[in-house]
Chains A and B, each alone.
Chain A
Amino acid sequence: MKIPLIYNIRSVLHRPTTSLATALGIAFVVLTFVGMLALANGFRSAMISTGRPDNVMLLRQGADSEISSGISREHASIVRSLPEVAKLPDGRPIASADAYVVVAKPRLDGSETHMPVRGVSPEVFELRDEIRIIEGRSFEPGHAEVIVGRGLVGRMSDVEIGATIRFGQQDFTVVGHFEADGSAFESEVWGDAEMLMSAFRGPVYQSVTVRLADPNAFDALVARIEGDPRLQLQAKRESEFFAEQAQFLGSTLEFIAFFVTIVMSIGAVFGAINTMDAMVAARAREIAVLQTLGFQRRSVLASFLVEALVIALAGGVLGCLLALPINGIETSTMNWQSFGELTFAFRVSPKILLQGMIFAAVMGLIGGFLPARRAAKQGLAAGMRRG
């Protein structure tokens, strides 16, 4: 016969301090787990949400980031005119040849970072249609003007509208702020490629991105580019390229998250065993009564396991609730792979919360097993004598 669940719930509520201490231990482990994974997830999703799968990005053969790449004007114009590239009604290709650099600039807190600056072609707003000006206006081609992603605003100096940023020997005026669906572009400064090239590296692009006329033509475009002896370029889907740029820091953060939580969960399990053990000892007489009433050892074991699970799940829910407010908190770091500053927000996803709950349940079951077995094994007479 099964011992009803309400018995366990009442029992948990009857000992609020002990139950709470155990639940809190588990809650904090879940909080860490969710918090750290939300950091890793936020970083990854900022990079992964960057770019579209039907945009194709071209870098020089062998380059592992835009920084290490270089594409001549001549090659850029060959790529733009390929038949797989989508065209605007007026015949201009939907493509942008980007001059990408990172510039050493201080954050507002005084620490230094490398601010990504991207010179783009006029067609870029058709190519990357997630870009929206949220304040001010866009830059005019041919003018020393830039727009700044919202991820940099409030974090870097000299990015307010009307401010002047000096690049090399030339001053650029900030004329607008833009957003880009939380993607990595929001941590960039954009301006006219021609103007920025002359301020930085001279007439070399770092990447060329084109829109596929037919989303299924990716392989055809790759084959054409690889078959062209003039072009020493490699092609990737734009979304894939940015996702790859998150690989290193993303896995590092995940490694730290798992290392810390696994070590901590062992400590929390020990704490749970201790409190459950004490609870079992204090309830020796109660257990004996259950046995007298005819409940079998198996039922007693199951009942105490359920009780541990109830406490653990309560802890899990509490941990998840405590973790929710960190969702959306923004931070920024240097992504060494792309070599630029990236602003991103903690992102608590349903998947992470579910993982946290599963984690709590596992801790509860492991922590509850030994005490539950002790309860089930207790002799009837011994139990009656104690307490």
Chain B
Amino acid sequence: MTRATLVRANLGRHKRRTILTVLGLGIALFLFVTLQTFLHTLRSIGDIGSETHLVVTNKLGIVFPLPMAYRARLQAMEGVESVGYASWFGGIYQDPSNFFANFAVDPEYLAMYPEIVVSPEHREAFMADRTGAIVGVRLMERFGWQVGQTVTLQGTIYPGNHDFTIRGVYSAGRKGFDETSLFFHHRYLEEIARGQGMDGVVGWYVLKVTDPNQAAAIAQAVDEAYENSASPTRAQTEKAFNLSFIGMYGNIGFFLNAIGMAVVFAILMVSANTMAMSARERFSEIAVLKTLGFTDGDVLRIVVAEAAWIVGLGLALGLGGAVLLFNVMDFDMGGFAPGLSVSPGVALGAIGIGLLIATASAAIPAMQAARLKVTDALRYVA
């Protein structure tokens, strides 16, 4: 009889216990990976922001607009390659619970984002239609929209119902880039705004700079140029801008994470306890093995191999399941959290926890078993 056979026999003896322990570990690790991936994805929004793009907003905050007249002066600034602008529209589709982002953008803005991938035919059709819109592929799926369809958005900032014709679909050129927005022509927004006395302004400018090393200097030059105007600006790299958005959530993510981790930890403890319990139950058996001539090292290896199997299967379930769900199947929790993807760092973390559990749950019983005197053990009643 080989050691492998023994390990297999032991795992198979309490089938229900083995299966439940593996499942319990799998669930704890799955939750760990999901929580970490969620927070990691949120944090990585900052990394998506480009260093060659400067976002210029009103210094008072992003709900305050900037004059459209700034465009020409920004364009003329040294080191600025192109200037795009956009405005938040805030339209509601049928019901407020259908929330999605909708922006008015100028052609230059779209050109600045190679991540917004639109086929040439769609782009052309969009450019040719005054009320045309480009819609993210996930948003199309969510509402079952078709290209050519007219959708009506209720204005929140701009009162009334406004019609848009879907002329194109965009997909993200990079994983993690948003695919749930609707873009339309800024000219169309100006038409709407003119009727309501809200024209002549834009939400924010995006500057593409020729040299990323000059970005900070250009940002400073922009802010100085408008310092004493009625609408002072705040220019920052897109990365910093995105990070400041994430920062607004405050430490709520920290709290959720801390609470979630407490439970993951507890379940892991329970699993480890079960595994240690299994080992303790067999002291008299181990004594028999030792009588038969198995060395302490052999016994240790058997106990460790058992723990390794259980943890390995748990990891395969938990980590493998999360990778399958998020990375392969692209699960977005019903639109709640699109673009989740298990990062190598998070995966390594899960593997590390697995190793820790395997070691912790095997170490004490293994050591006890190895040190065990045969006569004591045979007397031991589990």
Contact = CB atoms under 8 A, between A and B. Distances in A.
Contacts of B4: none
B156 A275 contact: no
A334 interface: yes
A273 B20 contact: yes
B263 A28 contact: yes
A61 B159 contact: yes
B27 A267 contact: yes
Interface stretch (A2-10, A258-266, A299-307): A258-266
Interface residues of B, number: 60
A274 B20 contact: yes
Contacts of A261: 263
A333 interface: yes
B266 A25 contact: yes
B69 interface: no
B27 A266 contact: yes
A233 B250 CA distance: 34
A263 B247 contact: no
Contacts of A256: 256
Contacts of A201: 64
Given A31-B262, A270-B20, A274-B20, A62 B155 contact: yes
Nearest to A374: B16
A118 B232 CA distance: 21
A163 interface: no
A165 to B, nearest CB: 12
A271 B274 contact: yes
Interface residues of A, number: 65
A331 B249 CA distance: 10
Interface string A241-269: 00000011000100110011101101110
Contact of B273 (A21, A65, A263): A21
A22 B35 CA distance: 24
Contacts of B64: 101, 200-201
Nearest to A275: B274
B112 interface: no
Interface in A109-127: 109, 111-114
Interface in B237-257: 244, 247-252, 255-256
Contact of A67 (B21, B63, B154, B250): B63
B60 A36 contact: no
> Which of B62, B244, B255 has the most chain A CB atoms closer than 10 A to its own CB?
B255
B17 interface: yes
Contacts of A264: 27-28, 31, 263-264, 267
A29 B21 contact: no
B336 interface: yes
B99 interface: yes
B270 A22 contact: yes
Interface in B15-63: 16-17, 20-21, 23-24, 27-28, 30-31, 35, 59-63
Interface in A218-256: 232, 247-248, 252, 255-256
A59 B165 CA distance: 29
Interface in A352-368: none
Nearest to A63: B156
B160 A270 contact: no
Nearest to A35: B259
Contact of B263 (A32, A103, A111, A112): A32
B312 interface: no
A270 B248 contact: no
A60 B159 CA distance: 8
B228 to A, nearest CB: 8
A132 interface: no
Interface string B271-303: 101100100010000000000000000000000
B351 interface: no
B68 interface: no
B248 A334 contact: yes
A278 B282 CA distance: 13
B306 to A, nearest CB: 15
A270 B336 contact: no
A60 B96 CA distance: 16
Interface of A: 18, 21-22, 24-25, 27-29, 31-32, 35-36, 39, 60-65, 67-68, 101-104, 107, 109, 111-114, 167-169, 200-201, 232, 247-248, 252, 255-256, 259-261, 263-264, 266-268, 270-271, 273-275, 277-278, 282, 331-334, 339, 341, 370
Interface of B: 14, 16-17, 20-21, 23-24, 27-28, 30-31, 35, 59-64, 90, 92, 96-97, 99, 154-157, 159-160, 228, 230, 232, 234, 244, 247-252, 255-256, 259-260, 262-267, 269-271, 273-274, 277, 281, 333, 336, 382
Name the 5 nearest CB pairs between A and B, nearest first: A28-B266, A111-B247, A334-B248, A271-B270, A104-B61
Given A271-B273, A278-B277, 14 more contacts: A21-B273, A22-B270, A25-B266, A35-B255, A39-B256, A63-B159, A64-B90, A64-B96, A101-B63, A104-B234, A248-B99, A260-B260, A274-B20, A333-B248
5 contacts: A35-B259, A102-B63, A168-B60, A264-B27, A275-B273
